[in-house]
Each structure stands twice: as structure tokens, then as C-alpha cells.
Amino acid sequence: MDYVTSYYSKLRALWAELDVMIPSPGCTCEDSTMYVEHLRSQRLMQFLMGLNQRFGHIRSSILSRKLVITVNEACAVAAQKESQRTLRVLDKTRDPLIFLVGRTQ
């Protein structure tokens, strides 16, 4: 499992435990809605601030958006960037001679 997915899974487990201990208000009043929105933005910040330094550009990109995204969307963006970075590293580590061997046979 890659870093972002593992980190997000652990964070969600902690949030689930916290939700059991401190449940959100069950009403549909304005205060309850404001509480839930605050909780969502707080969790997005927790997720972003907990990412490794190598995800600093992703953090900045997400925070600079005008529309607030969900934690799930932020995780998807970070995981996608991590996968792209991993693929680039794998491409760089391949031995160029391997391709020549295939051609000469």
C-alpha cells in the first residue's frame, strides 16, 4: 500500500473513533450544519498538514483553490501524484540496455 493511502486509512480510523466519542449533532438546524462544515474543513487541514514534505506542492495547490474540496478528493489528488512520481522513478531506474537486448535477438 502506498504512503498516501495508508496514511489516509489510519487517519480515517482515528476520526471514526473520535466520532464515536464526540458525535455530531443530529439535528438539521443551522448550527449543526455549520458544525459539520467546520469539521470537514478541519479534517481536510489535518490531512494536508500531515502529509510528508514531498507533498508540499500538492498541499499548496489544494489550499489555493477557491472551491473547498473534500478530504476524499484531496486524498485522491495526493495518491495520483504519488503514483505518477513512482512511475517516473521506475522509468528512470530501468536499464536502457534492456531495450537493446530485445532488438538484437
How far apart, in whole angstroms, are the C-alpha atoms of residue 57 and residue 38? Answer: 24
pLDDT at 85: 83
Measured CA to CA in angstroms, residue 17 lies from 1, 26, 46, 47 at distances of 22, 17, 15, 16
Confidence check: pLDDT of 78 > 90: yes
* Count of domains forming the chain: 1
pLDDT at 92: 63
pLDDT at 89: 67
Q: pLDDT (tens digit, 9 = 90+) per residue, 15-69?
A: 999 999 998 888 888 888 899 899 999 999 999 999 989 899 989 999 898 788 8
How far apart, in whole angstroms, are the C-alpha atoms of residue 46 and residue 8? Answer: 10
Q: What is the pTM of this model?
A: 0.73
Domain hosting 86: range is 3-104
Q: Any residues with CB less than 8 A from the CB of 3 and at least 6 apart, and which?
A: 52, 82
